[in-house]
Amino acid sequence: MSEELDGKVAIVTGGSRGIGKAIALQLGREGAAVVVGARTEEATEDNPGSIGETAAAIEDAGGKALPVKVDVTVDSELEALADKTMSEFGQIDILVNNAGALGGAPQFLESEPDELDYFYRTNLRAPYVLAKIVGTKMAEQGHGVIFNISSGLARLPDPPGSPGAGNPRRFGGPSTVYGMTKAALNRFAAGVAAELQEKNIAIININPGFTLTERLARLMKGRDTSRMERPETTAKAIAFLARDPMPYTGQIITARELADEHSL
């Protein structure tokens, strides 16, 4: 174990698998006590991994971890997640808002407003609410850093028919509602960065790139995935930023670019 984050306490939502699990494991390896939040308590074929498995892996490596079942769309469960962390560890230094709705809704003209509501509640409202809950506690202790997981789909697609448009559905179509929520998440972080900075709290959004998670690995079996990012790249980027986050506050950071720049 490294001691880069020794004495720090982190909450990672969506920590049972994928990018969230990699982040939780990396923070644990660098000395942080990690609260692993997610809905999955028992692994299944469709949903490999669980909060208990991630916590156990951290502890097996010599770290400290606490698994907490949480549905991020339920405010009372977010409150309970923060309260359990404070009760167990007495502080919260790092929050990683990783849990999110993935993929895309149907085509716009075939969609229902409920689909937009689902993506909004999971990808935008939940990080907003948890950041406020945890940020209040960070303000009281005088420091902290909040990470939100963004996406390349947050950026605007080129207009149809323009030279740079390429595949007209790459950043549009079913990905639109997902991209809308991630774009709003970027605007949220940039908008509150100055206010939080006054409390010595940094807020940073991370774009992990197109990442090969367990689910995608099954879907893409037999296809070339060599150019896809790995969850560990984002995990190393977040651990690096957590050591000295304030110079990056209010920014949207691409994990691969940071990893290459600092040889992570």
Query: What digits encode the pLDDT tens for the residues 84-110?
Result: 999 999 999 999 999 999 866 788 898
The values of phi and psi at residue 34, to 5°, are -120, 125
Does residue 178 have an active-site annotation?
yes
- Distance between CA atoms of residues 26 and 15, nearest Å: 11
pTM comes to 0.92
Digitized pLDDT (tens) for each residue of the chain, 264 residues in all: 668 899 999 999 999 999 999 999 999 999 999 999 998 778 777 778 899 999 999 999 999 999 999 999 999 999 999 999 999 999 999 999 999 998 667 888 988 999 999 999 999 999 999 999 999 999 999 999 999 999 999 998 877 766 655 554 455 566 889 999 999 999 999 999 999 999 999 999 999 998 877 776 676 677 877 788 899 999 999 999 999 999 999 999 999 999 999 999
Angle at alpha carbon of residue 162, lines to 164 and 206, rounded to 5°: 40
List, in sequence order, the alpha helices (H) in the chain: 18-29, 51-60, 75-89, 113-120, 126-141, 176-197, 214-219, 231-243, 255-261
Q: In the numeric block, which tokens belong to residue 231? A: 């969850």
pLDDT recorded at residue 212: 74
The residue assigned the tokens 């409920």 is 114
The residue assigned the tokens 């110079």 is 247
Determine how many CB atoms are found less than 10 A away from the CB of residue 76: 8
The residue assigned the tokens 């880069």 is 4
Going along the chain from its start, the domains and CATH numbers come out as 9-261 (3.40.50.720)
Residues β-bridged to residue 95: 11, 146
Q: In the numeric block, which tokens belong to residue 82? A: 């923060």
